[in-house]
C-alpha cells in the first residue's frame, strides 16, 4: 500500500543564509527519531542532474522545476523532503506548491539579511560576484523575490542552529507527526 504521508519543506533564501546548515540539523534530529527524511540540496543537484544548466533566469527556472519533480518523487514515497535552494523567483516556488496536494508543500524563508550572508560568505561567492567574476548572482546583480506569506520565516542571525532547528520542528510538529503519529511531542534535542 502506498504511503501518502510525505511532505516537502522548501528552504529558500540567499546564498549564505543558513538554508543547508539548518536543514541538515533538522534532518539529523528527525532521523534520530526514526522519521524518513531526505535532504535535497541545490549545490548537490547542480553537480549532477542539473549540471547542464547555467545561472540565467531560464536555466534557474528549469533547475527549480527539476528539483521540485525530484522532491515530489520522494514525497510520494512517504519521505519528509528538506529542499535547500535559493530559488529566487516566487512564481517557481508557487508552481511547485500548486503541483503538490494541499498541505504537502511548506515554504521556509530563511530571511537572513544580505549583509550577514555576505559577511559569512562561506564559499567566497559574494566577493567574486562583487568583482564581476560571477555574473547573475542572486542578491547582487540578480533579484531574489521573497515570499509575502511563507509558512515559516527564520532569520539565522538571531538564533543558534539548534534553536532554529527546534523552531522549525515546533512549528511543523503536526505535519511531521503525520509521517508517524508516535513521533508527536518527542524531545528533538
pLDDT digits (tens, 9 = 90+) for 63-109: 888 899 999 999 999 999 999 999 999 999 999 999 999 889 999 99
CATH of domain 7-183: 3.40.50.300
Q: What's the whole-number mean pLDDT along residues 114-130?
A: 92
Given a cut of 70, is residue 1 above it in pLDDT?
no
87 is catalytic: yes
158 grid coordinates: 538571531
Q: What's the whole-number mean pLDDT along residues 111-122?
A: 92
pTM higher than the cut 0.95: no
Q: Which is more confidently placed, 153 or 56?
A: 153
The CA–CA distances, whole Å, from 185 to 2, 163, 176 equal 26, 16, 10
Q: What is the pLDDT of residues 142-189, one digit of tens each?
A: 999 988 889 999 999 989 999 999 999 888 876 666 655 454 445 544
Q: What's the whole-number mean pLDDT along residues 40-58?
A: 77
**Residue 76 backbone phi and psi in degrees, to 5:** -65, -20
Residue 178's pLDDT is 60
Q: What's the whole-number mean pLDDT along residues 1-22?
A: 85
Binding-site annotation, residues: 13-20
Residue 56's pLDDT is 74
Q: Which one is catalytic: 24, 54, 87, 182? A: 87
Binding-site annotation, residues for ATP: 13-20
Q: What's the whole-number mean pLDDT along residues 20-39?
A: 92
Q: Which is more confidently placed, 109 or 60?
A: 109
Amino acid at each position: 500500500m502506498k504511503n501518502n504521508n510525505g511532505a516537502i519543506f522548501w528552504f529558500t533564501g540567499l546564498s549564505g543564509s543558513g538554508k543547508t546548515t539548518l536543514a541538515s540539523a533538522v534532518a539529523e534530529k528527525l532521523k534520530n527519531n526514526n522519521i524518513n527524511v531526505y535532504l535535497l540540496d541545490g549545490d548537490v543537484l547542480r553537480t549532477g542532474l542539473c549540471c547542464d544548466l547555467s545561472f540565467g533566469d531560464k536555466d534557474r527556472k528549469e533547475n527549480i522545476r527539476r528539483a521540485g519533480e525530484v522532491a515530489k518523487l520522494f514525497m510520494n514515497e512517504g519521505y519528509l523532503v528538506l529542499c535547500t535552494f535559493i530559488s529566487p523567483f516566487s512564481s517557481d516556488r508557487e508552481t511547485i506548491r500548486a503541483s503538490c496536494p494541499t498541505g504537502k508543500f511548506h515554504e521556509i524563508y530563511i530571511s537572513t539579511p544580505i549583509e550577514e550572508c555576505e559577511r559569512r560568505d562561506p564559499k567566497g561567492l559574494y566577493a567574486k560576484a562583487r568583482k564581476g567574476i560571477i555574473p547573475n548572482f542572486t542578491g547582487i546583480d540578480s533579484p531574489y523575490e521573497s515570499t509575502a506569506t511563507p509558512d515559516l520565516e527564520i532569520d539565522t542571525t538571531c538564533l543558534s542552529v539548534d534553536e532554529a532547528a527546534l523552531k522549525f520542528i515546533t512549528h511543523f510538529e503536526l505535519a511531521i507527526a503525520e509521517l508517524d503519529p508516535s513521533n508527536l511531542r518527542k524531545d528533538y534535542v
